[in-house]
Structure 1
Amino acid sequence: MAGSQIQRTELPSPRYEYGGDDHIFVELDQEMSFDANFKAMAITQQIREMDLSGLIEVCPANASYLLHFDPDLIEPDTLIEKLRVLDREIHLSEYEWETRIIDFPVLYDDPWTHETLMRFRDNHQDPNVTDLEYSARINGFETPEAFIDAHAGAPHMVTMIGFVPGLPWTFQMVPRDEQIEVPKYVQPRTDTPSRAIGYGGAFTAIYPVQGAGGYQLFGRTPVEVLDVEQKLPDFTESMVFPQPGDIMKFREIDRDEYDRIRTKIGDGTFEYRYESVRFSPEEFFEDPETYNEELVEVL
């Protein structure tokens, strides 16, 4: 028997805005939904494939996208008209894209983020418990372990990269009533370890570098998501890994595996484990639980 379907969202007409002389911002909706994000993915993928003269960069986001262009080579209104045509022509019931299912190891409740979150308890909603304990409680889980199982139990899609360079935002691919939701800290921290797994709202964010932050801290990954010098094999084409549209399968690991991966990172031999698949929004909308199982089986 099929599981719960994803509730579809009827999108309003897109809002097109000029950003100075060389940017166009397009808002598809005022809040994140799978429909808004998948539509942003589809339009930005298609506009890239058109290989337009003057188009410099294309950045999909949670419910919007941004284009950077050279106004000497393409008129902004010409570009907007092409975007309007794509918006009318692309139907998610018919659209698919090539993506990757990525094995993403996480050391949950690790010593580094634990030390950090304990240092900033006065900034938190509940100073008497850890971030995992707090997040488990407000989401109705009896233990942090059960909460971790839920976080790692269904894949997450990378919906955008940004806020700081190389930071992936991921959204768990489950119906809305199954989404984990947590607030940000009351006051942000002035410190967060690099590669920390943070959670705010309904998004997992992976901090690429050490810095300030306000998301609840669940763990730390041994792998890099940003390699500015592009020394690791997976970063030869881009200093950022993963990319929007990729699908992450978070996998709980122990300290020994964490250390083994860090050793491979250090000597430059680590490579992500992933498989290429074709993603169908329509199949996902119809039966996300079954479709997710089929997606992660390739790993």
Structure 2
Amino acid sequence: MDTPTELPPARYEYGGDEFLFVELDQAMSLEANFKGMAVTNALRELDIDGVIDICPSNASYMVRIDPDRLDPRELVEELRGLEASVGELPRDYVLHTRVVDVPVLFDDPWTRETLMRFRDNHQDPSGTDLEYAARINGFDGVGSLIEAISSAPYIVTMLGFVPGLPFCYQLVPKERQIEVPKYVRPRTDTPERSFGFGGAFSVVYPVRGAGGYQLFGMAPAPVFDLDQRLPDFAAGIVFPRAGDVLRYRTIDRAEFDRIRGQVEDGSFRYRIREASFEPARLIADPDAVNRELLEVLYR
């Protein structure tokens, strides 16, 4: 059982005439993220005239407004009321979400080739990113690290950096969180669909480009599809949503190649199941809730 984190009072700041920034905590925690989800979801349901966009983040959120239609000071008062209504931990809040199977080929040849090209940018030029991460997190080897990564699901806390990149936080107690620093100097190249880790967050890079997260593997399926070729992208070019629960499942090269073939012929579909859970119960007993989420996904 994890002890709930007591959050400080939210900090409200204006960004020019059109933006309001609300910081719930300086550090990432499930409590801060769930509280941000509860407040921003409630704000959407209010459908306030003058609210243009709502952008939740890991431990904060931002609201864009039309100042000709809504006084930002009035919005602050509304948000303070929503913050008070959900309390320190939204015990009555139920998260309705998707649970998704995300296959990953760990220690793949493409990210390994990339990370070895950039060893001078790394804290430990003598080994791979997986070997470094296993060592600093106290695992007895890469296999144990990969097992820990894939053993419990992650929640998508926000999307950002580039379109479609999901920041994902594992649903385990803090003492079991895997944490790694970013590269000392960012890479100038990262393959599309690389599975990376930075801080306590996992990501799947949606497109090729620069990056500084440790590279652990490669996903065969995209999280970003500009042409919307695949059925899972019919509603938009980005697949992940904030609040999704992702389970990174270890696969071998044969399954990777099979899925790549499905992606290329347009037949690939993510395994997706609808689920609901109470954040307060997750924080009190994460292993039990995780078992239930995985049972829903694979039954």
37, 43, 46: which one pairs with 1:41?
A: 37
Counterpart position of 2:14: 18
Distance 2:235 2:265 in 1: 20
Which of 130, 133, 155 in structure 1 is aligned with 2:131? 133
What code does the residue aligned with 1:157 have?
Answer: I
Q: Counterpart of 1:196 in structure 2: which amino acid?
A: S
Structure 1 residue 172: Cα displacement:
0.7
Q: CA deviation at 1:72?
A: 2.5
For 1:135 and 1:111, locate their aligned partners in 2 and report how far apart those are by CA, in whole Å.
18
For 2:71, which of 51, 70, 75 is the aligned residue?
75
2:91 aligns with 93
**SS of residue in 1 equivalent to 2:69:** coil
- Residue 173 of structure 2 corresponds to 175
Distance 2:226 2:202 in 1: 22
CA–CA distance in 2 between the matches of 1:69 and 1:268?
39
| Counterpart-to-counterpart distance in 1, 2:133 and 2:43 | 39
Report the counterpart of residue 159 of structure 1 in structure 2. 157
Aligned to 2:199: 201
The answer to whether the 8 A contact 2:3-2:284 is kept is: no
Matched residue type, 1:205: V
What is the CA deviation profile of residues 222-275 of structure 1, one whole-angstrom value per residue up to 9, with x for unaligned ones? 111112233322222232221111111110011121122222222222211111
Alpha-carbon separation, structure 1, partners of 2:263 and 2:113? 23
Instruction: Measure how far apart 1:29 and its partner are.
Output: 0.7
2: CA distance between counterparts of 1:240 and 1:73? 31
Tell me if the contact between 2:193 and 2:220 (Cα under 8 Å) persists in the aligned partners. Answer: yes
Distance in 1, Cα, partners of 2:270 & 2:192: 18
User: Which residue identity lines up with residue 164 of structure 2 in the other structure?
Assistant: G
Instruction: Give the counterpart letter for 1:82 in structure 2.
Output: E
**Percentage of matched positions with identical amino acids:** 57
1:117 corresponds to 2:107: no
The one-letter code matched in structure 2 to 1:88 is A
2:54 maps to 58
Counterpart AA for 1:234 = D
Deviation at 1:78, TM superposition (A): 2.0
Relative to structure 1, is the Cα distance of residues 125 and 265 closer, same or farther in structure 2, using a 3 angstrom cutoff? Answer: same
| Cα shift readout 1:255-299 (whole Å, capped 9, x = no counterpart) | 121122222222222211111111211211221111110111011
Residue 216 of structure 1: aligned partner? 214
- Residue of structure 2 in register with 1:7 after alignment: 3
* Distance of aligned partners of 1:230 and 1:71 in 2 relative to their CA distance in 1, 3 Å threshold: farther
Task: Give 1:185 deviation, angstroms.
Answer: 1.1
Equivalent-residue separation in structure 1 for 2:237 and 2:71 (angstroms): 30
Q: Report how far residue 202 of structure 1 moved.
A: 0.8
Shift of 1:13: 1.1
Q: Could you tell me how far 1:61 is from its partner in structure 2?
A: 0.7
User: Relative to structure 1, is the Cα distance of residues 88 and 234 closer, same or farther in structure 2, using a 3 angstrom cutoff?
Assistant: same
CA contact (8 A) 2:277 2:289 kept: no
Change (3 A) 1:70 1:233: farther
* Corresponding residue number in structure 2 for 1:192: 190
RMSD: 1.2
- Residue 66 of structure 2 aligns with an amino acid whose one-letter code is D
Cα shift readout 1:33-74 (whole Å, capped 9, x = no counterpart) = 111111011111111112222322211111000112222222
Select which of 23, 27, 39 maps to 1:27.
23
Secondary structure of the equivalent of 1:103? strand
TM-score, with length taken from structure 1: 0.95
2:58 alignment partner, SS class? coil
Q: Distance in 1 between matches of 2:258 and 2:69?
A: 50
